[in-house]
Structure formats: C-alpha cells, structure tokens
Amino acid sequence: MAGIDTIRESWATRAGFILAAVGSAVGLGNIWRFPFQVGQEGGAAFLLMYLFFILLIGLPAMLVEFTVGRRTNLNAVGALRKIGGRTWQYVGGLFIMIGFIILSYYSVIGGWVLRYFTGSLTGGYTADSEAYFVEIATGFDTLLFHAIFMALTVGIVALGIKQGIELAVKLMVPSIIAIMVGLAIYAVTLPGGAEGYTYYLSPDFDVLASEWRSIVPAAAGQAFFTLSLGMGVMITYASYLSKDRNLAEDSGVIIGFDTGIAILTGLIVFPILFAAGLGAAEPGPGAIFIALAGAFSEIQYGLVLGVLFFGMFSIAALSSAISLLEVVVSYVVDEYGMNRPVATSIIGGGIFLLGVPVALVSDGGNPIVIDLYDILAAEILLVTGGILVMVLVAWFHADKALDELSKGIGSVGILGSVWIWLVRVPVILVLLISLALAFLGYYEFLSDEFIPFVRG
Ligand code: TRP
C-alpha cells in the first residue's frame, strides 16, 4: 500500500470539518429531493416521519460513521477492513459503487440547476416552464451541462482537502444559509402563500395510516440521502479529523443545519407555489423545477429570486457532489498511492459516463433513468450500507466505538450505552423493515414503470 508512507492531509480548522460535512449534507437532497418527496408522500405526514428518522436513526448512524473514520484515519474501504477484517472491505466496495451511481445522476441534476441559473438570468423559462423543463431535462445539451457540473466537481476535489474542499465550503456554506434565510423571509410576505404553510405543516394521519408502506422507506431513504450516510462520506470526512473533536456535538450541529435547511426549503417552496396558484408540486423529479420556474415567472421580482435561488442551489449541489467524489478518490489515493489530480479526473470521467443514459434517455420528456438510479441508491443501497456498518460497529466493536467517541468528550457514561443499544436493536430493526418495503416498492416501479417503458 503505497499511500501509507505519504503524509495524509487533515482539516486545517474545526470549522473546516463541520462546514465540509454540512456542505455535503445540504444539497439536492434538501432542495430538490425533499420537497418532491413531501409532495409525493403526503405532505406533512411525510415530514413527520422524516423528522422521526433523522433523530432516531440519522443521529446514531452519523456517530457510527464518525467513530469509524476518526479511529482509522483511512478511506472508507480501508477503514472497514481495518476494523472488521478483509471480508468487510467488500462493504467498502459497495460504498464505492454507490458513490458512482449517486454522483452520476446527481451531476445530471446539478447540470439542470446550472441551466436554470442561466435561465433565470436570461428569462429563458418564463414563456412555458413545463416545456422548458422537457427541453432541458434530457438530450445533448443536458449531457453538456452534466459534463460542466462534473468538471467543476473534479476541479475542487483535485485540489485536495485543505486547498480544495475546505476552502470551497468555507465560501459556499455561509452563502447558502444567507440566501435561504433571505428567501424564507421573503416568502412570508407573499400574498396567498398561507395555504402553502398549511399543506406543509399540518399532518394528515389518515395518509400516514394508509400509505405507510411507501412513506416509511421513502423517509428512511431520504434521511440517509440528506445526511450523506450509508456510503462512507462521513467515514471519509472524519478520517481527516484530529482526536480532540467532540463527535457527538459535531453531529448535532451538522444535523441541525441540514434539517434546518430542509425545513426552510419547504417554507420557501410551498408558499411560493401556492402564491403562484400552483399548489403542491406534481410528483416526480421534474416537479420542483417546473413548479418553481413557473412560480418565479408569475410573482413580482420572480426572476431576481430565480437567480438567487438557483445560484444558491448550484452551490449547494456542488458542495455535496465533492463529498461523493471524495469517497472514491480517497480510496484510490490511499490504497494505490495514485496521484490525486489524476485519480480524480479518471474517476470523474467514469462517473460522467455512467450518467450518460440519465442525460439521454427520455420517457416522453420524463428522465426515467433518474428514478431507476435514485430509488435503488437511496432506499435500497444506502440503507443496506448503513445497516452493515451499524452491525459491524454496534455488535462487534462497540468497545472501540465507545472509546473513540469518548476522545474529545471525556466520559460518555450511560449515553454511550444508550447509543450502542439503540443502534443494535431498534435502529437496525426499523431499517430492515424499511429495506423490505423498499424492495417491494422497487419491484413495483420496475414492473409497472420501467420494464413497460423499455419494452416500448
Ligand atoms: N446529502 C447530499 C444531499 O442532500 C447528497 C450526498 C452527498 C449524499 N454525499 C452523499 C447522499 C452520500 C448519500 C450519500 O444532496
């Protein structure tokens, strides 16, 4: 392993680590995926289930990944091998595969966001927001913007931890937060937006009772996706960390920011949609784009808002994409001693290729490959990755995890055991149920939507 004798980088500052983790967490998951899941899975009922998953599963799961990363100071594959032995490196291999899949479509959507940013500058989408989406969602231009987004991601990651990722997130994350807060305050002033808040904030328990089979796996998948859990991002980021950090406190801060931004997105998006007379978004990956662009064309100062919103959205997508790429890059750099810029470019090229069908295949204007990749990645693969790491840590190496957690805290006391037992039984159990439901849901998607589409 050639990488071992070269000096491994670390974060320059505490803020660097937290901002990188927040930058990773806050992204398309909060601004694109979250509102479209809320719209698709029953509004506030979904919101409630999602919050439950964040607190009960997201927090303990993030701590698990942090302890693994900081304990080993290794990339995700190396970390799991060091803790669990050789068999567990295949779980690390699963992470690498998930990174490829998620970033491949993430980058296509990132390209859409860049496109909407330019569309706000030129007023390109004001005539017919639905036609605009259909036009930009798939096709050769889509591929071009996918390439641009990927190139930006590669550019940052190639520069390394301190000079690339840390510097980028120090500029990006504060801008995201400032713009989001500004937009949410503006949304309050919109006439007719009140209904949006009602839809978003009043849970309908009948929906929860009748639709839990799809709400549960959707909420679990969303919790993993939005917190960047289940594929080693947080292992990798924590591996660049020194021993004096309080991991529990840092997790709390990171989750607080991510959840805050997701809730804030709802507080921006739903009033804007209702104010423009559009109502909750139609389900589907394009919904939020069509609806928001439509709304920005309707309301006063809409295009200025569009520039701010899609500008912020581009930054948020980019600061997450770099974390997805970093998982794969750190693996190749650590394990094979490959030169970082070279590794980053080759891997970025590979991920670009995997995204080609996402950018080109259209089911009557609907980019259906996104659903194919996204449901598989979020609801099945991330949850599987999460369960496996939790089994390894909580069942087989709880002593090491507790020892690692206590560094930077002192004594973790009874809360440490609560954490381990929470993970050992209820968390893993709920995730297994969710995984089973996700398989059923994915089977339905394949047989009802994807296979009929492929057959024409
Ligand atoms: N959390 C990011 C978002 O919400 C996406 C993301 C970055 C991610 N890294 C990840 C999702 C790792 C799952 C796993 O947009």
pLDDT digits (tens, 9 = 90+) for 402-444: 999 999 898 888 999 999 999 999 999 999 999 999 999 999 9
| Closest residue to atom 10 of ligand 1, CA basis | 228
| Closest residue to atom 12 of ligand 1, CA basis | 228
Question: How far does the centroid of ligand 1 lie from the alpha carbon of residue 233, in Å?
Answer: 8
Report the distance separating Cα 385 and Cα 407, nearest Å: 26
- Closest atom of ligand 1 relative to the 227 alpha carbon: 1
Q: What is the pLDDT of residue 45?
A: 84
| C-beta neighbour count of 435 within 10 angstroms | 18
CA dihedral 165, 171, 177, 181 (to 10 degrees): -160
Identify the band that residue 283 occupies on the pLDDT scale cut at 50, 70 and 90.
low
Q: Which of 211-225, 244-258, 267-281 has the lowest mean pLDDT?
A: 267-281
Question: How far does the centroid of ligand 1 lie from the alpha carbon of residue 229, in Å?
Answer: 7
Q: Which of 132-141, 230-239, 266-275, 304-313 has the lowest mean pLDDT?
A: 266-275
How much is the average pLDDT of 115-138? 90
| Closest residue to atom 8 of ligand 1, CA basis | 228
| Closest residue to atom 6 of ligand 1, CA basis | 228
Helix 76-84 with 59-72: angle, nearest 10 deg: 80
For residue 64, the surrounding DSSP H or E stretch is helix 59-72
Question: How far does the centroid of ligand 1 lie from the alpha carbon of residue 28, in Å?
Answer: 8
How much is the average pLDDT of 375-383? 95
**Structure token digits, residue 238:** 């924590």
Residue 258 or residue 364, greater confidence: 258
How much is the average pLDDT of 168-188? 88
pLDDT digits (tens, 9 = 90+) for 29-53: 998 899 888 877 878 888 999 999 9
| Closest residue to atom 4 of ligand 1, CA basis | 29
Question: How far does the centroid of ligand 1 lie from the alpha carbon of residue 25, in Å?
Answer: 6
Question: How far does the centroid of ligand 1 lie from the alpha carbon of residue 455, in Å?
Answer: 32
Pocket (CB within 6 angstroms of ligand 1): 24-25, 27-30, 102, 225-226, 228, 230-231, 233, 320, 323-324, 382
**Structure token digits, residue 330:** 């750190």
**Structure token digits, residue 130:** 């639905």
Nearest residue to 269 via CA among 24, 38, 23, 27: 38
How much is the average pLDDT of 190-208? 82
Write the CB contacts of 106 (distance below 8 Å, at least 6 apart in sequence): 27, 28, 317, 320, 321, 324
Identify the band that residue 393 occupies on the pLDDT scale cut at 50, 70 and 90.
very high
Amino acid of residue 274: F
Report the distance separating Cα 27 and Cα 320, nearest Å: 6
- Evaluate if residue 3 carries a pLDDT over 70: no
Residue to mutate, 320, 322, 327, ligand 1, most ligand atoms under 8 Å from C-beta = 320
Question: How far does the centroid of ligand 1 lie from the alpha carbon of residue 322, in Å?
Answer: 10
Domains within the chain, CATH numbers bracketed: 2-455 (1.20.1740.10)
Question: How far does the centroid of ligand 1 lie from the alpha carbon of residue 11, in Å?
Answer: 20
Q: What is the pLDDT of residue 104?
A: 98
Residue 54 or residue 196, greater confidence: 54
